[in-house]
Chain A
Amino acid sequence: MKKLGKFYMLLVLLFLYVPIFVLIVFSFNETKSRSVFSGFTLDWYKRLFHNRIIISSLMNTIIIAVAASIISTVLGTFAAIGINSMRKVPKSVVMNITNMPIINPEIVTGVSLMLLFVFFAARMNLEFGFVTLLIAHITFDVPYVILNVMPKFNQMDPHIYEAAQDLGCSPFRAFRKVVLPEIMPGVVSGFLMSFTYSLDDFVVSYFTTGSTSQTLPITIYSMTRRKVSPEINALSTLIFIAVVIVLIVKNAIEKKAAKKSGMYKGDMA
């Protein structure tokens, strides 16, 4: 039985990691072929760093993901504070409204944003590009932040905020010293979630991108008429390695912190 369990585990792991493994292997392939491995080379990595188009769209992607997730974390956290202090009925109504964009197919969000921007572009001097991309990303990021922060409010004892004020804190100080630390894990995971979502978003970006900036997923998609270049394999490999390193470092830090405080704090994840 134990063996069977291990075998099953192996199958699942294979299922998850074989595609990435193949991608990594072919980033070292000498030719452009995606099916025949003909020899080892590091050329694609060298070319990747000289390819202005790929590098600049990577930069765009990162800038937009960072900006959108920071802005939406601030917006979402404030929204969650407001929603938390609502009465029951308006609260559930607002929560449903904020959940809509998550359930809604991305393509609907994308097309409707595009139509909205076109509407404004005709009237104001709005040009499709960085600004529209950023607004679109904030739009679909905010609900994820709210969704992550709200449970922390539900877990929190509402009276500790009042107690802090009773003990002489100003409302803002009470918020900073008492409420914020309590909801912080939710804020952090909301930030990370919205960051990853905007990092790999394609559909919404596809409809809202313009003539001045383009994100990496769109650059890769545009290669499909000719052929997706192995430089992309190389880039994906580097991103994969970066993610793995971040994960390892994060786990190591958490373990250290857990050892220090004597208990493992599970909800940081």
Chain B
Amino acid sequence: MKKLIALLGTALVGMSLLSGCASEVPEEADEEEEVSEAQTLTVSDPDYYTRFKGQNLSINVYNWGEYISTGADEGTLDVNGEFEKLTGIKVNYTNYATNEELYAKLKGGGAAYDVIIPSDYMISKMIKENLVQPLDFDNIPNFSYIMDNFRNMAYDPENAYTVPYTWGTVGIIYDTTMIDLDEEDIDWDLLWNEDYADQILMFDNPRDAFAIAELMEGFSLNTEDPKELEQAAFRLRQQKRIVQGYVIDEVFDKMGAGDALIAPYYAGDALTILEDNEDLNFVVPKSGTNLFIDAMCIPSSSRQKEAAEMYINFMCEPDIAYANIDYICYSTPHQAAYDMLDEEVRESPVSYPDSDFIADKTTVFVNLSDEANLKMQSLWTEMKSAEDENTNKWIAPVFLVACVLIMVFVLIRRHIKNKKDIF
């Protein structure tokens, strides 16, 4: 009976894989040969991965959209498919777009996740609220590949909860045809340069925007001092006049089409823009910047901790880590994956600034206290709504009053009509 269930289990797993993934059954050997050209996966310890085979386990992975190699390009690995094939554990893979969305889903209860990949400040918040649990690093031997620079980060000082997945820095992307400056001379004050009024884009989220103002003021990026926050907000308000718009992923189109000249952006995505546009350049200011890290964690509510750790370990297999970083284009904290990259990428000061710069000049976000968060949020709203205050104030009440009036009118009319109908 047990055997039958096991057989059924593997059959189900096999069925759930889309075509192209050969199963373990030897009869299908020729099919395996067919696909082996594209897939060159070797793992360090195959025995480790087959422990749960046939138990019909499944894990729920919650990741950013477009943040894993899917095998859509020829010759790349379908990471989740490979994991299922190797371990017999089914991966339920779902996506989110913001850290806050992830937090809400986790906090709300109901949905059980086994592996999540939040960013730095969100991790420290989750650790504080006991939403994630300590990892058993005996089950994650591949953690040894992680570079020293990315261990014991500020959000997880003991490195008990996280395995870093990707990282990147924030820099400035600009149009070289209109801005004739040496890379060395590019600094954050370019975003405040009046000469380029209405050609500047800015982050549309308070934390990233404040970080740039704080960098210019020389404050810590994790400052909670109300005075310093106000000072930073003052700078942002000065900038507002010359900012064309506050955007997030519209940067791709606006910079690509030449609608704007300067924008702050994340290194990995900026490189994607540069690929299509020779006129654009991206520089990480030497004076310092924010370093962001997305790391893998296991929520406290996970019911498959060991399988989840197996997944995390799998993501740290050199071949897999390389496939992912090659797809995502962010920077990797994984030594072996880094070594497999093209020399051009490895030497790039954008993707991989030298380690002294990372150690001395970059800061990782940690979670701010509730008061500091509130303060920042209110300063941000105040800054953004500063000018159109007069029009804004009246819209909501007027709209509400109009709605109520219309409703009353309709009700009265209906009442009169009903009375007429009765007689």
Interface residues of A (CB under 8 A from B): 31-36, 38, 47-48, 50-53, 55-56, 114, 117-118, 121-122, 126-129, 132, 209-214, 218-219, 221-229, 231
Q: How many residues of B contact A (CB 8 A)?
A: 40
User: Are A223 and B97 within 8 A (Cβ)?
Assistant: yes
User: Are A226 and B72 within 8 A (Cβ)?
Assistant: no
1/0 per residue B75-105: CB within 8 Å of A?
Answer: 0001011000000000011111110000000
CB closest chain-B residue, reference A211: B60
Min Cβ gap A30→B in Å is 9
Judge if B109 is at the interface, Cβ distance under 8 Å: yes
**18 extra A-B contacts, CB within 8 A, seeds A118-B108, A214-B94:** A36-B257, A36-B276, A47-B73, A50-B72, A118-B109, A127-B111, A210-B112, A211-B92, A211-B113, A219-B65, A221-B65, A223-B97, A224-B248, A225-B97, A226-B66, A226-B269, A227-B66, A227-B269
Residues of B near A127 (CB, < 8 A) are: 110-112
1/0 per residue B111-138: CB within 8 Å of A?
Answer: 1110000000000000000000000000
Judge if B67 is at the interface, Cβ distance under 8 Å: yes
- B-side binding surface: helix, strand, loop or mixed? mixed
A224 with B108: in contact, given A52-B18, A53-B95, A55-B18 (CB under 8 Å)? no
Interface residues of B (CB under 8 A from A): 18, 20, 58, 60, 62, 64-68, 70-73, 78, 80-81, 92-98, 108-113, 248-249, 252-253, 256-257, 269, 272, 275-276
Residues of A near B18 (CB, < 8 A) are: 52, 55
User: Are A36 and B70 within 8 A (Cβ)?
Assistant: no
Residues of B near A132 (CB, < 8 A) are: 110
Residues of B near A117 (CB, < 8 A) are: 110
A114–B81 alpha-carbon span in the complex (Å): 31
A231 with B112: in contact, given A33-B276, A35-B257, A222-B96 (CB under 8 Å)? no
CB closest chain-A residue, reference B80: A52
Select one of A118, A122, A128, A224 contacting B65, CB under 8 A.
A224
A38 with B276: in contact, given A52-B18, A118-B108 (CB under 8 Å)? yes
A213–B93 alpha-carbon span in the complex (Å): 8
User: Are A226 and B110 within 8 A (Cβ)?
Assistant: no
Min Cβ gap A219→B in Å is 6
Min Cβ gap B395→A in Å is 18
Min Cβ gap B362→A in Å is 21
User: Are B95 and A231 within 8 A (Cβ)?
Assistant: no
A121–B272 alpha-carbon span in the complex (Å): 42
